Structure 1
Amino acid sequence: MSQDSQDVGKLVMRVALGLLVLLHGVAKITGGIGGIGQMLQGAGLPPVLAYGVYVGEVLAPLMLIAGFHARIGAALIALNMLFAIFLAHRGDLAAFNGQGGWALELQGMFLFTAIGLAFIGPGRFSANKK
């Protein structure tokens, strides 16, 4: 496989993950983060940490899309997904959905794609190639 093909593949993965996670961030901007603060408080964590969702679901996806310090952006998305799984989906870790798939397949795809991008980097078609 040529380097160009690999760089295009990285671009597709970055933009896809970035856009899909950013949509969740836009929902938080328009709908608020009060529910996340309550979940954090229920888990014994300070509700102020809810503001981190703006980093993980708005700033980090924009970093990925642009390829601007994309490894950091990907790591932030992975951290955000770990919090989301812990706070909102922990009861479904071993569950299956009605079609036989993992109940957390979307969250898992976001998490593991972000981890992969943090390792492989943004590719040549990025703002700073880091």
Structure 2
Amino acid sequence: MKKNTDLGLLVLRIAIGGLMLLHGIAKLKGISYIEGMLTEKGFPSFMAYGVYITEIIAPFLVLIGYRTRLASLVYAFGAIFIILIAHPAEIISLNAYGGWGIELIGLYLLGSITLFFTGGGKLSVSSSNIWD
């Protein structure tokens, strides 16, 4: 069977970008709970607006394959931040079904790191820049 790395990267971009984009779109209804969580942890509440960058803009760029490496780096930073702020105790715990406590966020994080190292592939809006 012939390898098709570019098609595999497209599927990864659709999964990672598309699924996180849905989380971001849901946040268009409001982010007051994120502001509250950040304030409670000692961060300024305006940082909550970063969710629009890490859950809407970066995933959209990953999805279409524009500056995929840069967008996935921003995406990974957002995933790490949310793990450390909202789910620190779950890093070393298992959920009720025996899976890793931050399994879904971990998949998002590892997928975005993968795209950082590989780029978006040829089936992208842009593939000639160093950040693609």
Indicate the TM-score class for this superposition, using the shorter chain for normalisation.
Answer: over 0.9
Distance 2:82 2:89 in 1: 12
RMSD, matched Cα: 1.3
Q: 4+ runs of 1 displaced by more than 6 Å?
A: none
> Which residue does 1:13 correspond to in 2?
12
1:70 is the counterpart of 2:68: yes
Matched to 1:48, the amino acid is F
Matched to 2:112, the amino acid is A
Distance 2:33 2:84 in 1: 14
> Which residue does 1:22 correspond to in 2?
21
Matched to 2:125, the amino acid is A
* Alpha-carbon shift at residue 2 of structure 1 (Å): 5.2
Once the two structures are superposed, what CA deviation does each residue of 1:69-126 show, in whole Å capped at 9, x if it has no partner?
1111111111111111111111111110111111110010001111111111000011
Question: Structure 2 length as normaliser, TM-score?
Answer: 0.92
User: Structure 1, unaligned stretches of length 5 or more?
Assistant: none
Question: Structure 1 length as normaliser, TM-score?
Answer: 0.93
User: Structure 2, unaligned stretches of length 5 or more?
Assistant: none
1:125 is the counterpart of 2:123: yes
Equivalent residues, number: 128
From 56, 74, 88, give the equivalent of 2:86. Answer: 88
* Alpha-carbon shift at residue 38 of structure 1 (Å): 1.4
